[in-house]
Structure 1
């Protein structure tokens, strides 16, 4: 056993004892806020030393796995390649194995293929920071990838200068006297150096980006359709802007306070003036950021399809066709089917499509013959949409903030049950609140053509019905009436 291996085994045993004792003794629960931060820093420091060891060992394994196949380390150990060896021995995933190999290629000494002599690593200053325990795997890649992308277009001296300055920033020895930089900050600085030094690389990067751009829809599963791909930077930035515009909190309204309940029109509860406040805490949104981004993308697709600016498909705008048996819809049991998707969807999806789109009834005989085709029914026209935008101002659910132009129109009383396609029966809802209206607890009713909402119990235990709007004009009127 080598001394290095012996010491690593000792370190592993000591680390196991330290971690086990610290957790068993409950020290984390009694630690102060400052001590929690110190514990994170200490554990991160240990992790960087472990990263240094892994990078060195993986680099050595790569060096021994070149040349004739029979002489390779991986062949002797029964592995196809270094990645498989790293995954099996270190018990890491394939992504981590690949990242360790990339890091090793940047900071490990190289061997000349012509002379066999040992050459300096590509980034010697970064290597020193790694061996000094100041830079871990994330930091290495944050610096190495932008600098290595420049290739031979930038002179070696310029690369070494950037390497030295970035390593100093990682150690906390930069010219500004800032503390040690985290990987995200190192990545930003390395990208700035790359752009400054590699003026001719923009076109090459553009070619590589264009070549790798992709968006793939995977095979449908019982839980949805997976998406994967690579967006061009400006496309991703545009999508991020759209996400920010739809997901940023604004126009927040919360229920609470106000006058006691009273009789309103048709026996409805009186309006609570406290509902007009827009500076209180918004209702909780339990969606994760990825879920909210999914819903924002669904909104974008709906708006784009209904904009009239997309090419026609089959003589009409791109239309999502959802079919369902009338009997299943009436019983509220069974499945619906989306044209182009193998997996069935819920009846809630069918109701959502029917509420925001149009319904065409097709009658089939028992043998499957088409015996009757109804006309398309009940879509709100552009004049009605403008009127609803003036009345509601955006998504009717308090705290949502999605503007009117991005909303769908919901039939408060379903059209299939006699509800009219009239402004007295329509309200603006964003895609999320429309699609899951029957699940998130908000109730909507119309009183003399004015929508009222009742919040779920966790948001307002009083159970009051209240008028809500985001229309600036209506809000101003409400203020002036006070």
Structure 2
């Protein structure tokens, strides 16, 4: 083992030389395209070889940490509670990376009989061979191991070994189809196909086990956001997916120039620059807002589960400072407070210099249900062209802010989805009211004329517009 450590130390010195010539001396930047591509491929070869060494080493650490007697475990003797922690400390990697190395070792590393000390074959011997030869890395090993090992209790071992062998051939580029070596994504697809063929029924879902695993955890605020992690039951995930599809459907409406006052709606695609995770977040935010306003949820403190945000009046007026949402230690921006106040309930509370409450105002409902119906009839849905979120999922936005004296009147309210309402002040779209009709000025990339245009997705109003034009 001493010589093995010496070899790794020598390898590191060679890599340091490569870094000096390639990165510190700008050799990579000066390389031609062909050399750059070839260098990435060779670096990938080296990375897979190093991963093979790491997987073997982690497998051996795991093997020496399986003793029933805690004090005899390697992890305990090194002062660590688990293999994952020891690997993190030794390699300076994160817990996810350490866990991936552990899982790869479980699939490919050999184990040893504690009585005879004889070595036993790996669970996926062919994949192990491809790993040691540098033809597949940790990503590829896990792509094969997940679906293949998941069926080991239900499928004949010989058939599993056949799948393992053919997948290893695909990783090497030696398959019967003559294709080049498969990357991890392609290996994952092929392994899933093998699992479907060998185990068509799959494992019957355990309802009780799934129910125990369900859950969502809110993390600690960091950089203005709250991390969320957890596991949803399939039907809950499916419902969230449907809400996502409903609120993010790619329906686009734009209005074309006309010599007359009437304008004809012309459907054209409008790109949505949000990522899918951002869209899913906004869909969840919409669902939570609609649910809280539905009056169908249980009450808390005698009232509906209302989001309470406190902010000083002078800060709200000036647009500076911070707001605070009840139940969250992370401060919110004034933009957030304005967004929530725009379509919620406002109660003004006056304190004197010592903090005593000297005036308690009544709750002011921003828009009542009759106004909402009228605005929905006029606007149809979110008025931003291309959004497509229906009226029932939208919030009502004060075009002239309530804090700046904007009236709670249909001539000052427009329908916006949660996303466009949240970012209307900082985004590229502009809104104004023209004799009670909302008009939009699109960003320059969408409408180079920078003109204000009346907008609606109301079928009734669109019929009127087309009727006047014809």
The TM-score with structure 2 as length reference comes to 0.83
Task: Return the match for 2:382 from 395, 401, 406.
Answer: 395
**For residue 64 of structure 2, what is the aligned residue in structure 1?**
64
Aligned twin of 2:451: 464
Structure 2 equivalent of residue 232 of structure 1:
233
Equivalent of residue 407 in structure 1, options 391, 394, 400 = 394
SS of the residue 2:408 aligns to:
coil
Q: What residue is the counterpart of 1:203 in the other structure?
A: 205
User: Structure 1 residue 236: deviation in Å?
Assistant: 3.1
C-alpha separation in 2, matches of 1:19 and 1:244: 47
CA apart distance, 1:142: 2.0
- Cα deviation code 1:158-209 (max 9, x no counterpart): 43233233333333444555443332343344345446528473234x4443
Asked if the contact 1:299–1:431 (Cα under 8 Å) also holds between the matched residues in 2, the reply is: yes
Structure 1 match to 2:55: 55
Q: Counterpart of 2:365 in 1: which secondary structure? A: coil
Indicate conservation of the 8 Å contact 1:150/1:198, yes or no: no
8 Å CA contact 1:272, 1:466 repeated in 2: no
| Residue pair 1:380, 1:421 contacting (<8 A) in 2 also | no
1:425 has 2:412 as partner: yes
Trace 1:227-376 onto structure 2 (pairs within 5 A). 227-251=228-252, 253=254, 258=257, 276-279=265-268, 282=271, 285=273, 287-362=274-349, 368-369=356-357, 371-376=359-364
Do the aligned partners of residues 297 and 120 (structure 1) sit closer, same or farther apart at CA in structure 2, a change above 3 Å counting?
same
Alignment partners' CA distance in 2, 1:461 and 1:353: 32
The residue number in structure 2 matching 1:263 is: none
Cα gap change, 1:332 to 1:151, in 2 (>3 Å): same
Change (3 A) 1:177 1:252: farther
Q: Distance in 1 between matches of 2:172 and 2:224?
A: 46
- 1:138 counterpart residue number: 139
Q: Which residue of 2 aligns with 1:449?
A: 436
Aligned length: 465
Aligned CA-pair RMSD: 3.7
The structural deviation recorded for 1:137 is: 0.4
Change (3 A) 1:201 1:52: same
Question: Is 1:118 aligned with 2:119?
Answer: yes
**Maintained 8 Å contact 1:45/1:133:** yes
Unpaired runs of 5+ in structure 1? 261-269
How far residue 2 of structure 1 moved from its aligned partner, in angstroms, is 4.8
SS in 2 for 1:43: helix
Q: TM-score, normalised by structure 1?
A: 0.81
The SS at the match of 1:409 is: strand
Q: State the SS of the aligned residue for 2:205.
A: helix
Q: Does 1:184 align with 2:185?
A: yes
Q: Distance in 2 between matches of 1:390 and 1:380?
A: 14
Q: For 1:173 and 1:207, locate their aligned partners in 2 and report how far apart those are by CA, in whole Å.
A: 44
CA distance in 2, matches of 1:333, 1:78: 50
On the 8 A contact 2:270/2:385 being kept in 1, the answer is no
* 1:132 CA drift (Å): 2.6
The equivalent residue for 1:378 is 366
Among 435, 447, 461, which residue is 2:422 paired with?
435
Cα distance, 1:330–1:104 mapped onto 2, change above 3 Å:
closer
| Cα 1:280/1:219, change in 2 over 3 Å | closer
Q: Secondary structure at the match of 1:229?
A: strand
Q: Deviations over 1:305-345 (max 9, x none)?
A: 22344334445433222233444434444443323233443
- Aligned mates of 2:380, 2:35 — CA distance in 1: 49
Structure 2's unaligned 5+ residue stretches are none
